[in-house]
Amino acid sequence: MKRNTHTAISLLLALALVVSLLCGCAGGAPSSVSSAAPAGSTAGEASSAPGALEEATLVMYVIGGEPVGFPDMLVEFNKLLKEELNATLEVNWLGFADYLTQYPLLLSSGDPVDLIYTATWTNYYQEARKGAFLPLEELGPQYAPKTWAQITDAAKFQATVGEHVYAIPSGKDTYSAWGIAARGDLMQKYGVDPITDWAGYEAYMDAIKANEPNMQPSGVYADGKQQDDVVALSRGYYPLTGSTGSPYWIDPSQEHPTVFFVTEYPEFQQDLAMYDRWAEKGFWPADALANQDSTMQETGKSASQIHNVDWWRDLCILRPEWDFQWYEMTNHVEIQSAMQDGMAIPTSAKNPERALMLLEKLRTDPRYYDLFVYGIPGVHSNILEDGTVEALNPDVFPLDSCGWGFRTNELTRLPTGLPDSYGKAVESLKNSVKENKYRSFFMDTDSIKSEYSAIQNIMSQYYTPLVLGMTDPVAGMEEINKQLEAADNEKVKAEIQRQLDEFITKWDAGH
């Protein structure tokens, strides 16, 4: 009996091995035209004369939910496309829920995809490194010359992975500006001064705590815990991931910055004491991390939230009666990384040239962009005389549901009916933008991914409860330091430092 089972097991294993090797699972994208030189010359000439272009079907993938009215728009769009580029576009959607699963699967499957949305949040750098996209230095200028010229050097630098540029970053500036959205009506009621620093914020929360027993003074909840990031930003430090929750930071004002773990900046102990005091005062409940309610501020359950300017804009529109105010806290507004949004050509593309020609149209020709992003005029939206766009049926065709990857400052339109103060706020953001070369630095954790994943775990398991005053500051710090040592923090830091040094040399040479 026993022997039988043994033989059965080894037979099975052998069978599985043989079968799977034989039958495929080879995977891998079929290698496609990497050098475009021969095909290029003909297509390049032909771009002015569509008749000469061979008929092609382009497959594009974007992230989001497909609006109900989208197919109708696509019919119209394809008429235009057929006439001018002799191509038909097929758009597929990767749902918000599962793009993290579907995106890598799609790229692995080798299914032909001509154009795909990519961004830092869809792991652009990691995917590019794994050979997902075509390099564009040659194809780009040839088939999308105007677009290629639009990309700034800094943006190109940010889209570079290893030796190549694998994506065309979007051409619209988005601002990284963090601040506090607070209730203007309550500030007036309780005589609180406009917030200029963290002590001011504390005073505001004190007033709320004293007078509004049913309101949570701060907006801390499971997905809203950017407080410590913003405090560190306001001290002038920069997170190396470029976004919140970064384990590693630098001081950009230094000539040659040193990488440090987030708890290692000089004022950290002082800030930690402040968080602890806030928690003690009950600015957020002790179980805030279990709370998943993202609507606390619009429903009046919390009195403030640390977030970006768009968050505040939406609140203004939703609850004009509460007179929401926004206080910029970081003192250095920056233009976000260009790779916040972009488009790439997967290695599996059948028509990379035509895909780039389409991208050129979308980025530079308002006929294409307006139709694709705002829908059929008169049915889905109206473009008003002042250049703003009015959604006629946002349920059927919400504005700008899929065009993030190819937005440009020139073609993007504002929605009709924004409050005046929004324009002012954006204007002031534009004026206070500071350049930060480290935005172009990409921290490559590939060679240290085991250690880095352990560090990420430390962030959520030990660091977050610490800065929300849920663990004892002294014991909590000790625990973190112990864990950091076990996760080989020094090695990770050294590697990132090496990359940063390399970046600085490269950057200085280029500028």
Partner 1 sequence: MKKQNAQNALTPTGATGALAGKKHPLWSEMKKNRSLFLMLLPALLLVLLFKYIPLGGIVLAFKDYRYDLGIVGSPWVGLQNFKFFFLSGTGLRVTVNTIVYNAANLITSQLLSLVLAVVLNEIWGRRFKKIIQSVSFLPYFVSWILVGAFVYNIFNVDNGVLNHFLVALGHDPINLYAMPSAWFFIIMIFNSWKWVGYNSVVYIAAITGIDSECYEAADIDGANVWQKIWRITLPSIKPTVITIVLLNVGRILRGDFQMFYQIVGRNGQLYDATDVIDTFVFRSLASGGDIGMTMAATLYQSVLCFIIIVGVNALVKKIDSDYALF
Partner 2 sequence: MSKKHPNRIRASNSMKLFQVLGYLFLLLIGFFCLVPFLLIVSASFSSETAITRNGFSLFPQEFSLEAYKMIFRFPDAVVQAYGVSIFVTVVGTVLGLLVTAMTAYVLSRPDFKYRNQISFFFYFTTLFNGGMVCTYIFIIRYLQLKNSYASLIFPTLIDVFYLLIMRSFMKAVPISLIESAKLDGASEYRIFFQIALPLAKAGLVTIGLFIALNYWNDWYNAMLYISKRSMWPLQYMLYDMISSTQMMAQLSSVANVSVMNMPSQTLRMAMAVVATGPAILVYPFVQKYFVKGVTIGAVKG
- Positions that interact with partner 2 (CB under 8 A): 1, 4-5, 8-9, 12, 20, 23-25, 27, 64-66, 68, 92-93, 95-98, 101-102, 104-105, 108-111, 174, 223, 293-296, 298-299, 301, 307-308, 310-311, 313-314, 317-318, 391, 394-395, 398-401, 404, 414-415
Of 9 and 494, CB closest to partner 2: 9
Q: Residue 70 and residue 510: Cα distance in Å, rounded?
A: 43
* Residue 454 interface partner, choices partner 1, partner 2, none, CB cut-off 5-8 Å depending on type: partner 1
Q: Does 49 bind partner 1 (CB under 8 A)?
A: no
Q: Does 388 bind partner 1 (CB under 8 A)?
A: no
**Taking contact as CB under 8 A, which single stretch among the options 378-386, 405-413, 446-454, 493-501 is the one that binds partner 1?**
446-454
3-state secondary structure 17-68: HHHHHHHCCCCCCCCCCCCCHHHHHHHHHHCCCHHHCCCEEEEEEEECCCCC
Whole-number Cα distances in Å, 233 to 26, 158, 214, 237, 262? 47, 21, 31, 5, 11
- Quote the Cα angle for 494-508-258, to 5°: 25
Burial class (CB in 10 A: 0-12, 13-18, 19+), 1: exposed
Beta bridge partners of 382: 390
- How many Cβ atoms sit within 10 Å of the Cβ of residue 130? 14
Q: Which of 251-257's residues contact partners 24+ apart within 8 Å by CB, and which partners?
A: 252/436, 252/437, 252/438, 256/501, 256/504, 257/438, 257/500
**Torsion over CA: 66, 67, 72, 76 (sign):** negative
* Residue 460 interface partner, choices partner 2, partner 1, none, CB cut-off 5-8 Å depending on type: partner 1
Pseudo-torsion of CA 308, 311, 316, 318, nearest 10°? -170
Of 294 and 453, CB closest to partner 2: 294
Which of 40, 50, 65, 104 forms a contact with partner 1 (CB under 8 A)? 104
Query: Smallest gap, in angstroms, from Cβ of residue 319 to partner 1?
Result: 22
Query: Smallest gap, in angstroms, from Cβ of residue 33 to partner 1?
Result: 13
Q: Residue 316 and residue 298: Cα distance in Å, rounded?
A: 10
Query: Smallest gap, in angstroms, from Cβ of residue 326 to partner 1?
Result: 27
Q: Residue 440 and residue 230: Cα distance in Å, rounded?
A: 20
**Taking contact as CB under 8 A, which single stretch among the options 172-180, 285-293, 361-369, 502-510 is the one that binds partner 1?**
285-293
Q: Which residue has the tokens 């995917």?
A: 127
Query: Smallest gap, in angstroms, from Cβ of residue 371 to partner 2?
Result: 17
* Residue 314 interface partner, choices partner 1, partner 2, none, CB cut-off 5-8 Å depending on type: partner 2
Of 287 and 386, CB closest to partner 1: 287
Of 247 and 405, CB closest to partner 1: 247
Cβ atoms of residues 492 and 455 within 8 Å: yes
Residues 183-242 that bind partner 1 (CB under 8 A): 222-223
Of 52 and 96, CB closest to partner 2: 96
Alpha helices in 319-383 (DSSP H): 352-364, 366-374
Residues 472-491 that bind partner 1 (CB under 8 A): 483, 486-488
Of 350 and 506, CB closest to partner 1: 350
Q: Does 26 bind partner 1 (CB under 8 A)?
A: yes
Q: Does 393 bind partner 1 (CB under 8 A)?
A: no
Of 415 and 473, CB closest to partner 2: 415
Q: Residue 507 and residue 435: Cα distance in Å, rounded?
A: 14
* Residue 347 interface partner, choices partner 1, partner 2, none, CB cut-off 5-8 Å depending on type: partner 1
* Residue 123 interface partner, choices partner 2, partner 1, none, CB cut-off 5-8 Å depending on type: partner 1
- Nearest of 282, 292, 171 to residue 225 by alpha carbon: 292
Give me 99's structure tokens.
Answer: 């793009």
In the chain, the N- to C-terminal Cα span, in Å, equals 75
Cβ atoms of residues 186 and 303 within 8 Å: yes
Of 52 and 105, CB closest to partner 1: 105
Please, what's the b/e burial string for 2-11 (b: 16 or more CB within 10 A of its CB; e: otherwise)?
eeeeeeeeee
Query: Smallest gap, in angstroms, from Cβ of residue 349 to partner 1?
Result: 12
Q: Does 29 bind partner 1 (CB under 8 A)?
A: yes
Query: Smallest gap, in angstroms, from Cβ of residue 182 to partner 2?
Result: 17
Query: Smallest gap, in angstroms, from Cβ of residue 479 to partner 1?
Result: 10
Phi, psi dihedrals of residue 192, rounded to the nearest 5° = -95, 135
Q: Residue 462 and residue 471: Cα distance in Å, rounded?
A: 9
**Taking contact as CB under 8 A, which single stretch among the options 195-203, 257-265, 290-298, 308-316 is the one that binds partner 1?**
290-298
Q: Rounded to a whole number, what is the largest CA-CA distance in the chain?
A: 85
* Residue 37 interface partner, choices partner 1, partner 2, none, CB cut-off 5-8 Å depending on type: none
Q: Does 295 bind partner 1 (CB under 8 A)?
A: no
Q: Does 246 bind partner 1 (CB under 8 A)?
A: no
Q: Does 126 bind partner 1 (CB under 8 A)?
A: yes
DSSP 443: -
**Taking contact as CB under 8 A, which single stretch among the options 15-23, 366-374, 379-387, 426-434 is the one that binds partner 1?**
15-23
Residues near partner 1, by CB under 8 A: 1-3, 5, 7, 10, 13-17, 19-21, 23-29, 31, 100, 104, 107-108, 110, 123, 126-127, 130-132, 222-223, 285-287, 289-292, 347, 445, 449-454, 456-457, 460-465, 470-471, 483, 486-488
